[in-house]
Amino acid sequence: MKQTHTFRADSLIAGYDETPILHNIDVTIPSNEISIIIGANGCGKSTLLKTMARLIKPTAGEVTIGGTPIQKIPPKKLARVLGLLPQTPIVPEGITVTDLVGRGRFPHQSFMKGWSQKDYEAVSDAMDMMNITEFADRHIDELSGGQRQRVWIAMALAQQTDILFLDEPTTYLDITYQVEILDLLTDLNRKHGTTIVMVLHDINLSARYADHIFALRKGKLIAEGDPSSIITSPLIEEIFGLKCSVMKDPISGSPFVVPIGRHHNKIRKHS
């Protein structure tokens, strides 16, 4: 079971160049749960994720794990606790699945020691978990989008961190693969207790898979909590500026957002 960490950001101000995108954000990531950050385009979802994953240095405030600012933890040591799958990582030309997944072991290796039995096991476990063992020797270029994403997640799993950040892991994927990826991540959380933090675009999938939701609007945290208690039509209207009706997902029982447009604005009764 993965360790529990107090992982939080205090009065965080961050952005690119000199323009702040996040304005004074305080968050505490619930340990061993799945958290999903939602919000409209440009609200700072990815910026929050990247700042917490130490890709962006905050201009003010700090991100801490167990009370230690993450900037003060040696990068390799931090990488054994906190893993990250960026939105668009680069596939080196001609790389095989095993080679790519194996690169997730970097923070556990030192130059003198090389590959240990533990490294091989971590890679083989990660590939089993993501059901990609059969592709082990294939080139990434030959795989479908969904398979490819599973390989990337396996790379992050091989890193064996307690906390895993994913920046829009389902973008560009068909709905089938979106569900598949989110199911696999849920397995990971339930089986190993991995703390998962991700940005998702799909509000209904977010409501279904999240234990905890962070709702951002214009760089500020405007609501957080478990999906069924915070997702309401006023909140969605505030975040996205979209009128909607919130119903109950007939399959999962989580909140289900049905948008109201100019052409479809009556609530129909089932006959």
Partner 1 sequence: MNQLSVTAQKQWHLPKNFIKLLVISVVLLAVCIFASLAFGSRALAMNDIISGLFNADVQTHEANVVRQRIARTIFGFMCGAALGVSGALLQSVTRNPIADPSILGVNTGAALFVVCGIAFFNINSSAQFIVFALAGAILTAIFVYGIGAMGRGGATPLKLVLAGAATSAALSSLVMAVMIPRSSVMDQFRFWQVGSVGAGTWDSVKIFIPFLVIGLIIAVVTAPALNALALGDEAAKGLGVKTGTLRVIAALGGVMLCGVTTALAGPIGFIGLLAPHLIRLMIGPDLRFMIPMSAISGAIILSISDVAGRVLGSPGELEVGVVTAFVGAPVLILITMKAKMRAL
Interface contacts to partner 1, rule CB under 8 A: 17, 50, 53-55, 74-80, 82-86, 88-96, 98-100, 102-104, 106-107, 109, 111, 115, 117, 120-121, 123-124, 136-137, 141, 155-156, 159, 165
Q: Which is nearer to partner 1, 125 or 224 (CB)?
A: 125
Least CB distance to partner 1 at residue 205 (A): 23
At a CB cut-off of 8 Å and minimum separation 6, what does 257 contact? 203, 204, 207, 231, 233, 236, 244, 245, 246
Least CB distance to partner 1 at residue 171 (A): 15
Least CB distance to partner 1 at residue 248 (A): 37
Least CB distance to partner 1 at residue 261 (A): 36
Least CB distance to partner 1 at residue 91 (A): 8
Q: Which is nearer to partner 1, 107 or 227 (CB)?
A: 107
At a CB cut-off of 8 Å and minimum separation 6, what does 270 contact? none
Q: Which is nearer to partner 1, 155 or 257 (CB)?
A: 155
48 and 8 Cβ atoms separated by less than 8 Å: no
At a CB cut-off of 8 Å and minimum separation 6, what does 194 contact? 2, 32, 161, 162, 163, 164, 188
The separation between CA 45 and the C-alpha centre of its own chain, rounded to angstroms, equals 11
Least CB distance to partner 1 at residue 18 (A): 12
| Nearest alpha-carbon partner for 114 in 97, 102, 101 | 102
Q: Which is nearer to partner 1, 74 or 234 (CB)?
A: 74
At a CB cut-off of 8 Å and minimum separation 6, what does 152 contact? 85, 89, 100
Q: Which is nearer to partner 1, 91 or 223 (CB)?
A: 91
Give the pairing of strands 212-217 and 34-38.
Answer: parallel
d(CA 271, CA 269): 6
Q: Which is nearer to partner 1, 165 or 256 (CB)?
A: 165
257 and 246 Cβ atoms separated by less than 8 Å: yes
At a CB cut-off of 8 Å and minimum separation 6, what does 74 contact? none
211 and 178 Cβ atoms separated by less than 8 Å: no
Least CB distance to partner 1 at residue 184 (A): 19
Half-sphere exposure of 88 (CA within 13 A, CB side): 1
Q: Which is nearer to partner 1, 53 or 221 (CB)?
A: 53
